[in-house]
Structure 1
Amino acid sequence: MVAKWRDSVAVKTRFFEAHGNDVLRAAQLLAEGFRHGGRLYTMGNGGSSCDAAHVAVEFQHPVTAGRPALPAHNLAQDMAMLTAVGNDVGFDEVFARQMPGLVKAGDMVLGVSTSGNSRNVLRGLEAAHDLQASTLALAGGDGGAMARSASVDLTLLVDSDSIHRIQETHVAIYHVLWDLVHSLLADDRPARASAPKGRTP
């Protein structure tokens, strides 16, 4: 048990020591989008879908007093849309088909995939890029197709072959991103009302 805990800490430490500047770049990209009226869209599969949903709710419903809600939407939450596209077109297109009706130039789209090879997430990022949205990816291992795609502006890559360690580090990354984005936006507007009571972390 101690060995696993140490490994978990070590993977996260290595990531932030090696990629701290990339995390800051990602935060700057998101902050710039929000600053100009952009909306964040997130997507993933399985556990990564849960992480994508977590990212969206953190921005939409902030837990920290004085930090305002920022527009974010999880693309996996509409089951009617997912099943319609999956049945009629194919599961690879469940995110890409949502882009034209939702995403505009200046928006931000975040794809989460431990392997970087989730075809539907990559197709979503490609469709978002074609619409002139900023595109980010959280991945692991060698980053797969997402790390090599010209449609992804920035990939934050966790150097591990353990799905658990990758997912744990993704959680740390997006919480740090959330904090950095709000810090970058803090000078742009006055503090607003505190987060609603009863917020569940």
Structure 2
Amino acid sequence: MVLNELKLHQTTINKVIEQLVPDIEKGCELVKESILKGRKILLAGNGGSAADAQHIAAEFTGRFVKERKALPAIALTVDTSALTAISNDYGFANVFSRQINAYAQENDLFIAISTSGNSENIISAIHAAKKLGCKIIGLSGRDGGQMNEICDLNIVVPDDVTARIQEMHILIGHIFCKAVDDTF
């Protein structure tokens, strides 16, 4: 069982290497550009993708590997009072867009994470970020869903298994962090 699972992961990583290197490189450039311009990074996702958003934000505000200055990154998934109040008052579809409207400014970067590319609250947040003039990187899977049409760059992991997609999302997030580390 273990060897079979590892081989399935290896198949997914091989597809990522074959198909996504140019998109991941573009993502690295967008992240570095935002940081070098003094802009902030906002991240959001649901479930495991919420955890990924928090993990990536922590790598920017803390550190990834090397010592460098703290960088502005906010996971919109961490404030339980805001999450529950916004969901209660405005509906769960607006839980992230409302925060985008509160925190985002022109030329900030929004990293939107949805394994299906169709999560209603993520789609709503992307629209809000676009209205404010933010750049948007999507991390999705399967066929990319609606995020294909509305992100500046949607990195679509070529797999249908949620766990594998999420594992690649955190790997891609770490590659973004490495690109930033290499810049400082």
User: How far did 1:21 drift?
Assistant: 1.1
Contact 1:26 1:177 in 2 (8 A): yes
Alignment partner of 1:137: what SS? strand
Alignment partner of 1:6: what SS? helix
Contact 1:109 1:135 in 2 (8 A): yes
Alignment partner of 2:50: what SS? helix
Aligned partner of 1:84 in structure 2 is 85
Q: Deviations over 1:39-87 (max 9, x none)?
A: 0000000011000100100111104233332110110111111111111
Counterpart CA distance in 2 for 1:78 and 1:53 is 11
Counterpart CA distance in 1 for 2:179 and 2:59 is 13
Identity %: 34
Q: Given the alignment of the two structures, is residue 71 of structure 1 paired with residue 72 of structure 2, yes or no?
A: yes
Aligned partner of 1:39 in structure 2 is 40
Counterpart CA distance in 1 for 2:17 and 2:82 is 36
Aligned partner of 2:170 in structure 1 is 171
Counterpart CA distance in 2 for 1:179 and 1:98 is 27
Alignment of 1:54-65 (within 5 A): 54-65=55-66
Counterpart CA distance in 2 for 1:180 and 1:13 is 21
Over the aligned positions, Cα root-mean-square deviation in angstroms equals 1.1
Q: Which residue identity is paired with 1:177?
A: F
Moved >6 Å (runs of 4+):
none
Aligned partner of 1:127 in structure 2 is 128
Aligned residues: 183
Alignment partner of 2:168: what SS? helix
Aligned partner of 1:155 in structure 2 is 154
Q: Deviations over 1:88-130 (max 9, x none)?
A: 1110000101122210011100111111111101111110111
User: How far did 1:166 drift?
Assistant: 0.7
Question: TM-score normalized by structure 2?
Answer: 0.95
Aligned partner of 1:24 in structure 2 is 25
List runs of 5+ in structure 2 lacking aligned partners: none
User: How far did 1:4 drift?
Assistant: 1.3
Question: TM-score normalized by structure 1?
Answer: 0.87
Counterpart CA distance in 1 for 2:61 and 2:67 is 13
Alignment partner of 1:127: what SS? helix
Q: Given the alignment of the two structures, is residue 137 of structure 1 paired with residue 145 of structure 2, yes or no?
A: no
List runs of 5+ in structure 1 lacking aligned partners: 187-201
Counterpart CA distance in 1 for 2:64 and 2:45 is 23
Q: Which residue identity is paired with 1:166?
A: I
Alignment partner of 2:105: what SS? coil
Counterpart CA distance in 2 for 1:173 and 1:24 is 10
Counterpart CA distance in 2 for 1:177 and 1:99 is 21
Contact 2:66 2:181 in 1 (8 A): no
Q: Which residue identity is paired with 2:157?
A: V
User: How far did 1:138 drift?
Assistant: 0.5
Query: Which has more radius of gyration?
Result: 1
Q: Deviations over 1:122-179 (max 9, x none)?
A: 1111101110011111000001111122xx1101101111111111111111111110
Q: Deviations over 1:9-52 (max 9, x none)?
A: 22012112211111111111111111111000000000110001
